[in-house]
Amino acid sequence: MAIQLVKGTKDLYGSEVVQWQRLEREIRTICACFGIGEIRTPMFEFTELFARGVGETTDIVQKEMYTFTDDGNRSLTLRPEGTAGTVRAYIEHGMHNQPQPTKLYYISPTFRCENTQAGRQRQFHQFGVEMFGSYSAAQDAEAISVATTLLEKLGVKNVELRINSLGCPKCRSQYNQRLREFIGANLEKLCPTCKERYEKNPLRVLDCKEEKCQKIIADAPSVLECLDEACSEHFQKVQSILNEMGIAFTVDPKIVRGLDYYTRTVFEFVSDGLTVCGGGRYDNLVEQCGGKSTGAVGFGMGIERLMMILEKQYGVMEQKSDVLLYIGSMGEKGLLKAQALTLQLRKEHIHAECDTVERSVKAQMKYANKIGAVYSVVIGETELKENKAELKNMKEGSSETISLSELCSVIKQKIGY
């Protein structure tokens, strides 16, 4: 029996890869406009980094990480999210000594051992942005504006931005106490997962999607009621800047995000009922990972989820051929010349193809049609002797006689190269 894919992974090829490449080009272009540089961190890190950075009480650390021991008996983990590794790199390479803020982005494979579902795999890919060195609400708004710009550029429909504030650790502690009291009074009505979350991190109960839990959570106290003056002012300033930027949003006190490191602003972008992007501020994480106290904010966007939404809204992207010229051949000398001319054209950045299967001329022309070649030419002994050949327009059926030695320049002229 043939070996198959591991559950929760996927092969990418054909039109899907073309769509991914388009998305990655948009990401890189937009990040360049925002002054955000790329970072590529290792696929695995010491397990302690994620336990400390992501949080011991999160589902990721408790249930979903791919952890293994290496030959040196060290515990290593495949990257379950991008922020912790970027924070580690920021500290380790002394990026705080550079002019601040430091703005970084990544497009990375990420690994979580969880139940597969629509737009979620065990190996998935994240576009993430991390901004270090500012405690200002302006940095929160800038991070949000990056995601807004990308989603607008891609044409994602029905996008809703939802924002909230968790306040500083003191605000959060006060809210946790009020929330614990509320949940405790309704504990028996909640699902088993929420009962477990209640013991470890009551905030996580607000994430539950069970209908019976949602009805109870609807009456839970709001975290916004527990914000101190500084945190309230910060959140109001974020809203003022977003309004000035023309970015629409809804304040949703139930947004808490699933990671322990968030402070103050948290946000999500939702399209057609699916969360496509989420992030927030994490002012204590750099210090928790061994660095100096540093303001920071960022977000992660699941590429598979984003691709699924785009396909649902616009349909499957067609794979368009970009083959400009097919060079057919007859006989040994014709094949040699076809190979040489094809390489010459490719060096000039012109997509040319030729026969490498040794088909008949008729079969070669059928193949040229199938791959969508715009032009074709066939080279045999007569063409070589006269240094001329018929260049055929495959779409129109018209043809013209050209010099073989000028084939490259003729093709360039036709495409305005």
Q: Give the residue numbers spanning the domain of 402.
A: 325-415
Regarding whether 388 and 243 lie in a shared domain, the answer is no
**What integer is the mean pLDDT of 29-33?**
97
In a domain, 10, yes or no: no
Regarding whether 350 and 299 lie in a shared domain, the answer is no
pLDDT tens per residue across span 101-123: 999 999 999 999 877 766 678 99
Whether 151 and 269 have beta carbons less than 8 Å apart is answered as: yes
Assess whether pLDDT exceeds 90 at residue 332: yes
Cα-flanking dihedrals φ and ψ of residue 155, to 5°? 80, 25
Length of the chain: 417
In a domain, 198, yes or no: no
Q: Is the dihedral of CA 254, 172, 163, 227 positive or negative?
A: positive
Assess whether pLDDT exceeds 80 at residue 57: no
CA–CA gap between residue 370 and residue 380 (Å, rounded): 22
DSSP character at residue 274: E
Regarding whether 72 and 27 lie in a shared domain, the answer is yes
List the structure tokens of 237: 């300033």
pLDDT tens per residue across span 115-148: 776 667 899 999 999 999 999 999 999 999 999 9
Supply the mean pLDDT for the chain.
90
**Mean pLDDT lowest among 136-145, 208-217, 301-310:** 208-217
Regarding whether 297 and 398 lie in a shared domain, the answer is no
In a domain, 179, yes or no: no
Regarding whether 340 and 295 lie in a shared domain, the answer is no
Regarding whether 355 and 254 lie in a shared domain, the answer is no
pLDDT at residue 118, rounded to an integer: 64
Choosing from 314, 343, 364, the residue where a domain stops is 314
Tell me the C-alpha to C-alpha distance, in Å, between residue 249 and each of 97, 136, 217: 35, 19, 22
Name the pTM for this structure. Answer: 0.87
In a domain, 339, yes or no: yes
CA–CA gap between residue 264 and residue 257 (Å, rounded): 11
**What integer is the mean pLDDT of 242-270?**
89
Choosing from 288, 314, 340, the residue where a domain stops is 314
In a domain, 250, yes or no: yes
Assess whether pLDDT exceeds 70 at residue 58: no
Question: pLDDT band at 183, cuts 50/70/90?
Answer: confident
Assess whether pLDDT exceeds 80 at residue 234: yes
Q: Which helix (H) or strand (E) element contains residue 409?
A: helix 407-415
In a domain, 377, yes or no: yes
CA–CA gap between residue 379 and residue 134 (Å, rounded): 65
CA–CA gap between residue 37 and residue 141 (Å, rounded): 18
Regarding whether 378 and 267 lie in a shared domain, the answer is no
Three-state DSSP at 65 gives coil
In a domain, 242, yes or no: yes
Regarding whether 122 and 143 lie in a shared domain, the answer is yes
Amino acid at 236: Q
**Mean pLDDT lowest among 157-166, 226-235, 315-324:** 315-324
CA–CA gap between residue 368 and residue 380 (Å, rounded): 17
In a 10 Å sphere around its CB, with 0-12 CB exposed, 13-18 middle and 19+ buried, how is residue 306 labelled?
Answer: buried
Assess whether pLDDT exceeds 80 at residue 22: yes
Regarding whether 251 and 135 lie in a shared domain, the answer is yes
**Strand ranges in 137-249 using DSSP code E only, listed in sequence order:** 159-165
Question: pLDDT band at 256, cuts 50/70/90?
Answer: confident
**What integer is the mean pLDDT of 359-364?**
96
Whether 281 and 264 have beta carbons less than 8 Å apart is answered as: yes
CA–CA gap between residue 268 and residue 251 (Å, rounded): 10
Q: Count of H helices and E strands in the chain?
A: 15, 16
Pairing mode of beta strands 388-393, 399-403: antiparallel
Regarding whether 395 and 260 lie in a shared domain, the answer is no
283: region left, alpha or beta (phi > 0 left; psi from -120 to 50 alpha): alpha
Choosing from 314, 336, 356, the residue where a domain stops is 314
**Mean pLDDT lowest among 25-39, 212-226, 242-256:** 212-226
pLDDT exceeding 70 applies to what percent of the chain? 96
215: region left, alpha or beta (phi > 0 left; psi from -120 to 50 alpha): alpha
Q: What is the CATH number of the domain that holds 334?
A: 3.40.50.800
Regarding whether 357 and 299 lie in a shared domain, the answer is no
Q: What is the CATH number of the domain that holds 237?
A: 3.30.930.10
**What integer is the mean pLDDT of 12-37?**
93
**What integer is the mean pLDDT of 363-371?**
95
pLDDT at residue 55, rounded to an integer: 66
CA–CA gap between residue 56 and residue 39 (Å, rounded): 26
Regarding whether 40 and 116 lie in a shared domain, the answer is yes
Report how many domains make up the chain: 2
In a domain, 27, yes or no: yes
Q: Note the helical H segments in 186-290.
A: 192-200, 211-217, 229-245, 285-288
